[in-house]
Amino acid sequence: MRDDVDDILDQWRRERPDLDPSPIGIVGRASRLARELEQRLEPVYREHGLEAGWHDVLATLRRTAVAMRPTDLTGSMMLTSSGTTKRLDKLEHAGLIERRPDPNDRRGILIALTAKGREVIDGVTAAHLANERRLLGALTDAEQRTLADLLRKLRLGLPD
């Protein structure tokens, strides 16, 4: 089996035989795979009335089961603070989250799911997980565990 990354590797080997292009085999595939997976996740979100990026916010709030400070939410989703603010504004306008005063910080606010937001995220989660399971269908359960372990190791080992 070959994919387009194999063609890229062949081209580099032909044009620059003095270089080892093998990292492209992993980094190139990981990059392409991330984009392709996102494209296949979005339709399920849309079917449940979610815009791009909303699922991450709602799922983060649901799985932590507590109201969160915007900075903690930003860190958990690896977004910029302005990106988080834009998402929160849209989610609040849609009635899925609410901003409330932080009782421990007079200047702070907390972000929490509304009842509607909880209903939406609970409604999409089973379909989302089934979709992810379907997307991983080319791998056996053992291969999925191995891949998860290797991806964790790679991620934790990235240089600063």
The model's pLDDT over 116-160, given as tens digits with 9 standing for 90+, comes to 999 999 999 999 999 999 999 999 999 999 999 999 999 999 998
Q: What pLDDT is attached to residue 13?
A: 97
Q: Which residues of 118-147 are buried (b: 16+ CB within 10 A; e: fewer)?
A: bebbeebbeebeebeeeeeeeeeeeeeeee
Q: CA dist 134 to 53, 124, 140, Å?
A: 21, 15, 12
pTM: 0.85
Residue 109 bridge partners (DSSP):
101
Q: What pLDDT is attached to residue 81?
A: 83
